[in-house]
Structure 1
Amino acid sequence: METIMTPMKEDYLKLIFEIGGGSQKVSNKQIAISLDIAAGSVTEMVTKMAAEGLVEHEPYAGISLTETGAKLAVELVRKHRIWETFLVSELKYALPDIDDDAEKLEHVTSTKLLNALDDLLGHPKRCPHGGVIPDRNGHYEEDSHRILNDVKDGETVVVDRFIDNRDLLNYLGDIKLDLGDQLQVIKHDSFEGPILVENLTDDSELSIGYKAAHYIFVK
């Protein structure tokens, strides 16, 4: 089947890469939460993308990128995150404001322009919200894919990266949670309630929403 790329398919590829990398399986629920859409819509799109050879979907096991899907995702992620880095470091954009413009710019960026930006920025390895930036040969260091929501009570972890989502980044700015902060999980409230953590870096207690805890990756 011929693959016709659309902005929505590209968003799915980038997101699956962001939450599962090149090989890990992700669930419909993770995609639905991250894109804020109904699980049925995710199933429909994933079925389409599987037929086109972009993803593999094993019922009850999860969704992962195929070799073709992973290659496309790496190219998209590299463009997007290099633009994000440029907007923050050179144009002093606030972190929550970078995604929309980076999204527009990535679609009109040639390989020549991308490599020139990469040279200008000194070949950054991470974007401003902590995500890995693949190099021009498609090589990258695998991200942590463990989300805060999965950390057990009493465990201590370090904030490694955030999903690139404007509402999330505004929220994290409000509660003053930063990359590199050390968190001790105190308790998970039941019925998809918030997670209570102690921020050992800032010596403060935070209540982090259930949805936000799916967007925060730790190690």
Structure 2
Amino acid sequence: MTPNKEDYLKIIFELGGANQKINNKQIVTGLSVSAASVSEMMSKLLKEGYIDHTPYQGAQLTEAGLHEASILVRKHRLWEVFLVEHLGFSWNEVHDEAEVLEHVTSSNLANHLEEYLNFPANCPHGGVIPDKQGKIIESPLQTLVEMSVDTDVKIQRVLDDRELLDYLVTVGINIGDQCRITEIGAYEGPITLTKDGQAIQISYKAACNLFIQPL
């Protein structure tokens, strides 16, 4: 399988495509590619049996697609832990490095890396690390845009995307932060959070990729 196909399976996985259908617009945003490129790749993945696709609803990983995506995500997230804990990278710097390493990492190396790291449960962005067989137990999470005003939330996971991570560092949002939603802008406007008494505005695009736990 080509690295390009692997990246598509991985983004579908990270957006929740193991349990629900992910539309092309979400993939365009997540990979920063054209709509035409996404449509072309969806056709290829459907033909090869890695996704099920329903017109106007989106794509969901098949069992084969989920296995491929999980194994890749496992390698990616293990390398992110290593880069943060042992090489001093910050959480917004590791995505691009792990993106390169994941494609050249054997399962044997991933297993040894996991043991060296003392079997971490999560990556620096809150994602659960799949086991050796690619199995993952990850509770479905809602996104920030699905919440209403005056809801208290905890940031549990963010999409592993360099642009998004840089943005979150800039506005001061981290995994584990507890915030209150105080305002939701109309027509996909910004969402205002209050964190430790400070107001923080989150763009709608970013809020679509912040996975939270209501408190």
Q: What is the rounded CA distance, in whole Å, between the counterparts of 1:21 and 1:56 in structure 2?
A: 10
Q: What is the rounded CA distance, in whole Å, between the counterparts of 2:4 and 2:104 in structure 1?
A: 17
Structure 2 residue 186 is matched with structure 1 residue 184: no
Structure 2 residue 39 is matched with structure 1 residue 43: yes
% identical equivalent positions: 46
C-alpha RMSD of the superposition:
1.4
Per-residue deviation, 1:21: 4.5
Per-residue deviation, 1:22: 2.1
| Matching residue within 129, 132, 135 for 1:136 | 132
Structure 2 residue 49 is matched with structure 1 residue 53: yes
**Alpha-carbon displacement from aligned partner over 1:178-201 (angstroms, at most 9, x marks no partner):** 1111122122212322111212xx
| Matching residue within 183, 196, 204 for 2:198 | 204
Alignment-derived partner of residue 158 in structure 2 = 162
| Matching residue within 21, 28, 46 for 1:32 | 28
Residues 153 and 185 of structure 1 are in contact (CA less than 8 Å); yes or no, is this contact kept in structure 2?
Answer: yes
Residues 71 and 133 of structure 2 are in contact (CA less than 8 Å); yes or no, is this contact kept in structure 1?
Answer: no
Residues 196 and 206 of structure 1 are in contact (CA less than 8 Å); yes or no, is this contact kept in structure 2?
Answer: yes
Alignment-derived partner of residue 217 in structure 1 = 211
Structure 2 residue 164 is matched with structure 1 residue 145: no
Structure 2 residue 64 is matched with structure 1 residue 71: no
Which secondary structure does the structure 2 equivalent of 1:96 belong to? coil
Q: What is the rounded CA distance, in whole Å, between the counterparts of 1:183 and 1:160 in structure 2?
A: 12
Residues 192 and 210 of structure 1 are in contact (CA less than 8 Å); yes or no, is this contact kept in structure 2?
Answer: yes
TM-score by length of structure 2 reads 0.93
Task: In structure 2, list runs of 5 or more residues that go unmatched.
Answer: none
TM-score by length of structure 1 reads 0.92
Aligned length: 213
Alignment-derived partner of residue 97 in structure 1 = 93
